[in-house]
Structure 1
């Protein structure tokens, strides 16, 4: 038996745009449907909002997202969570960094660190904080 963890991102009117952006960086397919398509419209403003969406790529990347409904509060907060992307290939991680960096605020440049061959942190143009690093063997 196995368990997987997937980051679920909450937006207000930006879910589809964000999913398409992440797909452009990591590849894979966007699957998304609106409240209107799901027959779950409680407020007219919710009709075209994403009820459920995801990007899933063959490289293992997977993220889910939706648009918070009109009758629900939404405050993205400063840094309520980080999305961590860890890989073994420097070139691959650098490519993801370059994609996510477009319009982002760099919090820590992608560079060698004391614990990883490469590590960086940024807040993307949607307010999501990402850490990217190249895995290093545990030295125990």
Structure 2
């Protein structure tokens, strides 16, 4: 299996604007889904916020971004990014999840999500937030 790691930037209400800005600088294409599109609205203020977005170029630039939910604290200096690991092998991703889970705080259990057949988020014992997902 090949895996890809990507910086995933966290915002509150301006993820789409940031993605469009990065696209204007690096080129490529923006793909963004709202919480409403993902059928994952927990608070009305979240509906049009970006739940998953990315800019990817043919040259290899790749950055992901989302808007932190209303019910989560947000401070640009507190939670500015997390590391996203995407792969195409369930067993290998599950092994990474088990390894990273040791001493971690699980933020979203590893399981199906609206945008991926397998997704999970945790904060490891060093305070780094990781997401793992199976490429759709």
Q: TM-score range by the shorter chain?
A: 0.5 to 0.7
Question: Displacement of 1:46 after TM fit?
Answer: 0.3
Task: Give the aligned partner of residue 20 of structure 1.
Answer: 20
Q: Distance in 1 between matches of 2:33 and 2:78?
A: 28
Aligned length in residues: 81
Q: C-alpha displacement at 1:45, in angstroms?
A: 0.3
CA distance 1:38–1:6, shift in 2 (3 Å): same
Would you say the 8 A contact 2:10–2:79 is kept in 1? no
- Check if 1:68 corresponds to 2:68: yes
User: Does the C-alpha gap of structure 1 residues 49 and 2 become closer, same or farther in structure 2, counting only changes over 3 Å?
Assistant: same
**Rg: which structure is higher?**
1
For structure 2, the 5+ residue unaligned runs are 82-136
Q: Relative contact order: is structure 1 or structure 2 higher (C-alpha 8 Å, sep ≥ 6)?
A: 2
User: How far did residue 76 of structure 1 move?
Assistant: 1.0
Normalising by structure 2, report the TM-score.
Answer: 0.56
Please state whether the residue corresponding to 2:4 is helix, strand or coil.
coil
Match runs of 1:64-103 below 5 Å: 64-77=64-77
